[in-house]
Amino acid sequence: MGDIGAVHCADTFQSTYYIKESQLLLTLYVDDILLSGPKESHQKFWEMLQKHSEIEDPTPVGRVFGRRHIITRDEHGASMKLDMSDFAANACTAYEELSGCVLKKASTPYLPEGSLVDNDFTVRGEMAQDASKVLMKILWSARLARPDLMKGISDLTRKITTWSRADDRRLYRLMSYLKGTPDYMLEGHIRDDPSTLHLSLYTDADHASGIQDVKSRSGMFDA
């Protein structure tokens, strides 16, 4: 990226670049190119990049990895909502197709205390073969925008190899909760003056730089 004046933000995170002259931050992740910084510098950067690489015309950041970014600005600063309602609806439909069950909306992701009996833990569950497909799908939304799902998912992933009828019921309840709360989302606000802000966290994307297994290393870099 030297031709356009970009330098790595950190030696171990090869996909994040900072363009000092225009104060732009560039992140490459698989087939996504994300740019942030002063709006008046964007057009010049894209024109320069398109001289070196064939890419589609840039558009405002909307949906990335199945998550919509709803950004609003006013005189006090900026706010952003992380919306995965479409992803939630799709996950619920996938569950209903795999299980043959029709979901009902639930107010919490957990079964009421005392609703399971001893026999529920000894009988093999009907979702034993497909539970991992559902859990891995909704784990993505939990990581990106729905931390309220994480505890329920974590509890059930430990049961994959010993799946019981109790776990069927727990999964049904968790998915019923997701069915009833598709519009839940994270919301963040920045109200500080830009001069007081600094970047302290980099993306964990590193373009599969693991030498032995060519996998991306997970984790984050805290400056």
The model's pTM is 0.71
Q: pLDDT (tens digit, 9 = 90+) per residue, 34-52?
A: 888 888 999 988 888 888 8
Residues 111 and 171 in one domain: yes
pLDDT tens, residue by residue, 58-70: 887 777 778 898 9
11 plus 97 within the same structural domain: no
pLDDT digits (tens, 9 = 90+) for 156-202: 999 999 999 999 999 999 999 999 999 999 999 988 887 887 766 65
Instruction: Give pLDDT, residue 221.
Output: 40
Could you tell me if 199 and 117 lie in one domain?
no
Residue 96 covered by a domain = yes
pLDDT band at 27 (very low <50, low <70, confident <90, very high): confident
Closest by CA position to 116, among listed 177, 180, 172: 172
Same domain for 94 and 176, yes or no, is yes
Task: Tell me if 67 is assigned to some domain.
Answer: no
Q: Are residues 93 and 164 in the same domain?
A: yes
Q: What is the pLDDT of residues 106-141, one digit of tens each?
A: 999 999 999 999 999 999 999 999 999 999 999 999
Alpha carbon distance 28, 26 (integer Å)? 7
| Whole-number Å distance between alpha carbons of 65 and 222 | 23
Can you tell me which residue has the tokens 């320069």? Answer: 48
Beta bridge partners of 32: 29
- Predicted pLDDT at 135: 97
Residues 6+ apart with CB under 8 A from 58: 33, 35, 42, 46
| Share above pLDDT 70 across residues of the chain, in percent, rounded to a whole number | 83
Q: How many domains does the chain have?
A: 2
Segment 136-162 shows an average pLDDT of 95
- Residue 157 belongs to what domain range? 85-180
